[in-house]
C-alpha cells in the first residue's frame, strides 16, 4: 500500500502538558541557538487542543514559571489561586476534619486550573512559535528499526466496521523522526508497545494506576468559593481501598467535583462510577452541590506507583515524558508540573542529540541524568514507597506517609507492588446463571445530583465515527466462558462510560456488547481487566471526548 511519509527532526506524540511543554521548550532552544531550524511536529489524537485532557486540577506553577516566566502577562488561564485547604475523613453520614492539613496537601501558592483550558493555551503558544501541531491524528504504531525508534505510524482513516476500506479511506502516514518524544499520557498505547518490545521495564515495578472521575458543576453562588480545595478520604471506600474525593472551587461559579479510586481494589463488585455518585450523596458534598447543575463529565486514569515503576526513559531515537513515564506524585496528588518539567528536559536532550548528530540511547541518557538532577527526583524519591504502603490499608498508609515526611521516605526495604489487576479477587459465590453482579454502592440516579453512566457520558461530549472497527480489542472467549463466574464481568463496572455491557443474545445465553463509541479514552479497561484481554488502541483520529473546562 502506498503510504505518505513525513520526515521531521523531532516528533512529539501527544499534546498534553508534557508534549506541549516539550514543543515550546524546543522552540525556545531553537530561537536561542539559531542555525538551520529543526523541523518539529506534534501529533495529537484529539480533534482540538485540550479536548482529551482532564485533571482535577491543582497546578504547582514551578515548571510553568521556568517555561513561560511571563505567564501572567501572556494570559495563562490559571483559574483561581488556592485560598483554603481542607481534608476530611468521611464516614457514612459524618465527617472528621483532619486537625491540620498535611504538608503535601498544602496548596498555598498553587492554582486551581482546568487542564483542558490550560493546555489549549500552551498549544496556542507553541503554534505561535511556529510548531506544527497535527490534531485529529492518532499515532497507532511505533516504527522500529531493530531497537531504534524511527518514528510512528498514524492510524488509517475511513475503515468500516467490518475492517473494509470505505469511500473515505486514507492510509495512515509514516512520520519519521530522528528523535521521537513519547508523551502519550497515562497508559499510552505507544509507550505500552515500547515497554513490550524493548527492555524498558527491567528491574522496575509494574505500574499501578487509579481512575479519576470528574464532573464540572455550576454551583449556587458562594457555595464553593473560588480557591477552595477540599480533599476527602474514606467513605464510600473500604479501609483497604485507595482513593478519595475532591472538590475545587473555580471562578465563574463553577466547581470541579471528582473521585479517585485506586485500580488495585480487591472487590470485583466495586464500581468507581457508583462510588463517585455515592460520594456526592454524602452531606458534605450534596450540601455544596444542591441547587447546582452538572455541566460536564469525564474520566481518566492516572499513574500512582511512582519512582520505582518509571520505565527506562531513553532508547535509540526515543524518549518518554509525562504520565506515560508514570511521573505523578501521588502523595501531593499532582503531576502536571512533573509532566511539564520532564517534557522540557526531554526537549533539551532531544535538541542536543539532533544538533550533535547522535541520537543513540547513550547520548539521550542525558535526559535521565537531567531528571535525577532536577526537582523531579527530589520530589518523587522521598515518596517512593508511599503509594505502596496503602496496600496495607488506609491507617497504615497514612502512618507511613507521616513517617516518610520526617524520614525522607526511609523504610526497612523497598516496598514492592504487584499490578493492580492481579489484586482483584474472585467472587466468593458466583451469581446464578443469567443474573448480574450488583455494583457496589450503586445509587438510584435522580438526574439532579446523581446520574446514570449513559447520561454522564453524554456530558463528556464523546463522539466517534460510528462506522469503524471497535478500538477496544477484546478476546471475548474469556468473557463468554469463565469471567461471569469468576469476576462477574467487572468491565461493566470499572468502565466509567458504559462501553461494556452484557446483553441477552437471544438464545438464553448472554454476550458482551462493546459500545466503543461511548469511550472517553480513560484506559481503565486496558489496565484493570483481570485477565488482561482488553487492549485499547486509538480509534480513528479526532474521535473521543470533547472536554472543555475539565
Partner 1 sequence: MILVVAEQRGGRLSRASWETVAAAQAIAGSDPVVVAVPAAAPGNPAAEMAAASVAEVLALAHPALETYTADGYVQALSALVGERNPSLVLLPHTYQTRDFAPALAARLERALITDCTGLRREGDRVVFSRSLFQGKLAADVVAEGAAPHIASIQIGAFRADAAVRGDAPAPVRQVAAEVDPARIRQQPEEPFQETKAAVDLSQAERIVAVGRGIKGQEHLQLAGQLAKAFGAELAASRPICDAGWVPMERQIGSSGQTVAPRLYVAVGISGAIQHVVGIKGARTIVAINKDPEAPIFEVADYGIVGDLFEVVPAIIEALNAS
The stretch near partner 1 (CB under 8 A) out of 50-58, 327-335, 343-351, 503-511 is: 503-511
Q: Of these, 117, 300, 464, 489, which contacts partner 1 (CB under 8 A)?
A: 464
User: Nearer Cβ to partner 1, position 223 or 463?
Assistant: 463
- Say if residues 322 and 17 touch (Cβ distance below 8 Å): yes
517: contact with partner 1 by CB under 8 A: yes
Where does residue 495 fall: left (phi above 0), alpha (psi -120 to 50 degrees), or beta otherwise? beta
Burial 99-130 (b: 16+ CB within 10 A, else e): eebbebbebeebbbbbbbbbbbbbbebbbeee
In this complex, which beta carbon is closest to partner 1, that of residue 268 or of residue 549? 549
Q: For partner 1, which residue of 97, 103, 433, 504 counts as binding (CB under 8 A)?
A: 504
Q: Is 32 in the site for partner 1 (CB under 8 A)?
A: no
For residue 508, state whether it binds partner 1 (rule: CB under 8 A): no
Output the smallest distance, CB 543 to partner 1, in A.
10
Stretch that binds partner 1, among 243-251, 320-328, 458-466, 487-495 (CB under 8 A): 458-466
Q: Please pick, from the candidates 220, 368, 455, 476, the single residue that binds partner 1 as defined by CB under 8 A.
A: 455
Interface characters, 288-327, with partner 1 (x: CB under 8 A): -------x--------------------------------
What sign does the dihedral 472-473-479-484 (CA atoms) show?
negative
Distance CA 159, CA 156 (A): 7
Residue with smaller CB distance to partner 1, 317 or 541: 541
Are 217 and 297 within 8 A, CB to CB? no
Beta strands per DSSP E along 36-97:
40-44, 58-59, 78-81, 84-90, 95-97
Closest CB 157 distance from partner 1, rounded Å: 17
Q: Which of positions 140-169 make contact with partner 1 (CB under 8 A)?
A: 161, 167
Nearest to 62, CA basis, from 342, 305, 408, 385: 342
Residue among 463, 469, 476, 480 that touches partner 1 (CB under 8 A): 463
| Nearer Cβ to partner 1 (277/389) | 277
Among 128, 399, 438, 454, binds partner 1 (CB under 8 A): 454
DSSP category for residue 177: E
End-to-end CA distance of the chain: 40
Computed from CA positions of residues 137, 138, 143, 149, in that sequence, does the dihedral angle turn out positive or negative?
positive
Classify residue 441 as left (phi > 0), alpha (psi -120 to 50) or beta.
left
Contact residue for partner 1 among 140, 228, 277, 546 (CB under 8 A): 546
**CB of residue 435 vs partner 1: minimum separation in angstroms?**
18
Beta bridge partner(s), residue 12 = 42, 181
Q: How many helices (H) and strands (E) does the chain have?
A: 17, 24
Binding flag, residue 120, partner 1 (CB under 8 A):
no
- Nearest distance in Å: CB 253, partner 1: 15
Stretch that binds partner 1, among 211-219, 266-274, 298-306, 500-508 (CB under 8 A): 500-508
CB of 169 to partner 1, least distance (A): 13
- Among 53, 35, 36, which residue's Cα sits nearest to residue 44? 53
Using the minimum distance from each CB to partner 1, give the nearer residue, 385 or 450.
450
Name which of 345 and 514 has its Cβ closer to partner 1: 514
β-bridge pairing 209-218 and 472-474: unpaired
Task: Say if CB 540 and CB 138 are below 8 A apart.
Answer: yes
* Contact call for residue 459 and partner 1 (CB under 8 A): yes
> For partner 1, how many residues bind (rule: CB under 8 A)?
22
Range in contact with partner 1 (rule: CB under 8 A) among 189-197, 243-251, 451-459, 534-542: 451-459
Verify binding: residue 48, partner 1, rule CB under 8 A: no
Site string for partner 1, 430-449 (x = CB under 8 A): -----------------x--
Of residues 72 and 167, the one with the C-beta less far from partner 1: 167
In the bound state with partner 1, the residue whose beta carbon lies nearer, of 132 and 467, is 467
Backbone φ and ψ of 158, nearest 5°: 75, 35
> How many whole angstroms separate alpha carbon 308 and alpha carbon 306?
6
Figure out which of the listed residues 458, 475, 477, 509 binds partner 1, where binding follows CB under 8 A.
458
C-beta contacts of 357-362 below 8 A and 24+ residues apart? 359/178, 359/179, 359/316, 359/317, 360/316, 361/314, 361/315, 361/316
> Measured between alpha carbons, how far is 102 from 127 in angstroms, rounded to an integer?
40
How far apart, in whole angstroms, are the C-alpha atoms of residue 471 and residue 299? 18
When the beta carbons of 129 and 218 are compared against partner 1, the nearer one is 218
HSE (CB half, 13 Å, CA atoms) of 485? 5
129 binds partner 1 (CB under 8 A): no
> Can you tell me the distance from the alpha carbon of 217 to that of 459, in angstroms, rounded to the nearest whole number?
11
Q: Which is nearer to partner 1, 160 or 393 (CB)?
A: 160
Least CB distance to partner 1 at residue 16 (A): 22
By CB under 8 A, name the binding residues for partner 1.
161, 167, 295, 447, 454-455, 457-459, 461, 463-464, 466-467, 503-504, 506, 513, 515, 517, 546, 548
Amino acid at each position: 500500500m502506498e503510504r505518505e511519509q513525513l520526515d521531521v527532526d523531532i516528533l512529539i506524540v501527544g499534546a498534553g502538558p508534557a508534549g506541549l511543554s516539550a514543543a515550546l521548550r524546543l522552540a525556545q532552544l531553537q530561537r536561542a541557538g539559531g542555525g538551520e531550524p529543526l523541523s518539529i511536529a506534534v501529533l495529537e489524537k484529539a480533534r482540538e487542543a485540550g479536548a482529551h485532557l482532564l485533571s482535577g486540577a491543582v497546578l504547582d506553577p514551578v515548571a510553568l514559571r521556568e517555561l513561560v516566566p511571563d505567564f501572567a502577562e501572556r494570559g495563562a488561564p490559571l483559574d483561581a489561586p488556592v485560598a483554603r485547604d481542607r481534608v476530611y475523613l468521611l464516614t457514612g453520614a459524618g465527617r472528621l476534619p483532619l486537625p491540620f492539613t498535611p504538608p503535601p496537601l498544602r496548596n498555598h501558592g498553587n492554582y486551581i486550573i482546568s487542564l483542558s483550558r490550560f493546555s489549549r493555551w500552551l498549544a496556542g503558544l507553541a503554534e505561535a512559535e511556529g510548531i506544527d501541531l497535527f490534531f485529529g491524528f492518532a499515532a497507532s504504531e511505533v516504527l522500529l528499526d531493530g531497537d531504534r525508534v524511527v518514528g510512528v505510524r498514524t492510524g488509517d482513516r475511513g475503515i468500516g466496521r467490518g475492517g473494509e476500506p470505505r469511500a473515505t479511506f486514507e492510509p495512515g502516514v509514516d512520520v519519521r523522526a530522528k528523535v521521537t518524544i513519547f508523551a502519550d499520557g497515562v497508559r499510552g498505547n505507544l509507550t505500552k508497545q515500547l515497554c513490550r518490545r524493548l527492555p524498558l521495564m527491567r528491574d522496575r515495578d509494574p505500574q499501578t494506576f487509579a481512575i479519576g472521575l470528574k464532573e464540572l458543576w455550576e454551583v449556587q453562588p458562594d457555595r464553593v468559593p473560588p480557591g477552595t480545595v477540599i480533599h476527602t478520604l474514606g467513605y464510600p471506600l473500604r479501609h483497604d481501598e485507595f482513593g478519595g474525593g475532591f472538590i475545587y472551587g473555580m471562578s465563574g461559579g463553577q466547581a470541579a467535583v471528582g473521585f479517585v479510586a485506586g485500580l488495585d481494589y480487591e472487590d470485583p463488585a466495586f464500581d468507581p462510577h457508583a462510588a463517585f455518585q455515592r460520594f456526592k450523596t454524602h452531606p458534605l458534598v450534596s450540601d455544596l452541590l444542591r441547587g447546582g447543575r452538572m455541566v460536564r463529565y469525564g474520566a481518566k486514569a492516572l499513574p500512582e506507583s511512582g519512582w520505582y515503576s518509571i520505565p527506562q526513559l531513553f532508547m535509540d531515537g526515543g524518549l518518554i515524558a509525562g504520565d506515560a513515564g508514570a511521573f505523578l506524585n501521588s502523595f501531593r496528588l499532582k503531576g502536571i508540573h512533573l509532566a511539564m518539567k520532564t517534557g522540557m528536559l526531554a526537549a533539551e536532550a532531544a535538541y542536543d542529540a539532533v544538533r550533535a548528530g547522535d541520537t543513540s540511547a547513550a547520548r539521550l541518557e542525558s535526559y535521565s541524568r537531567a531528571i535525577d538532577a532536577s526537582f523531579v527526583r527530589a520530589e518523587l524519591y522521598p515518596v517512593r514507597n508511599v503509594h505502596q504502603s496503602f496496600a496495607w490499608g488506609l491507617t497504615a498508609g497514612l502512618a507511613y506517609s507521616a513517617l516518610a515526611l520526617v524520614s525522607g521516605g526511609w523504610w526497612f526495604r523497598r516496598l514492592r507492588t504487584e499490578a493492580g489487576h492481579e489484586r482483584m479477587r474472585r467472587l466468593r459465590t458466583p451469581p446464578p446463571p443469567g443474573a448480574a453482579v450488583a455494583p457496589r454502592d450503586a445509587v438510584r440516579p435522580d438526574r439532579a445530583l446523581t446520574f446514570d453512566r449513559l447520561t454522564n457520558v453524554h456530558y463528556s461530549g464523546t463522539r466517534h465515527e460510528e462506522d469503524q472497527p471497535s478500538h477496544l480489542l477484546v478476546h471475548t472467549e474469556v468473557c463468554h466462558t469463565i469471567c461471569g463466574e469468576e469476576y462477574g464481568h467487572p468491565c461493566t463496572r470499572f468502565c466509567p462510560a458504559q462501553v461494556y455491557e452484557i446483553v441477552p443474545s437471544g438464545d438464553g445465553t448472554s454476550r458482551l456488547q462493546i459500545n466503543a463509541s461511548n469511550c472517553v479514552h480513560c484506559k481503565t479497561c486496558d489496565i484493570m481487566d483481570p485477565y488482561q484481554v482488553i487492549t485499547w488502541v486509538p480509534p480513528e483520529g479526532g474521535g473521543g471526548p470533547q472536554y472543555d473546562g475539565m
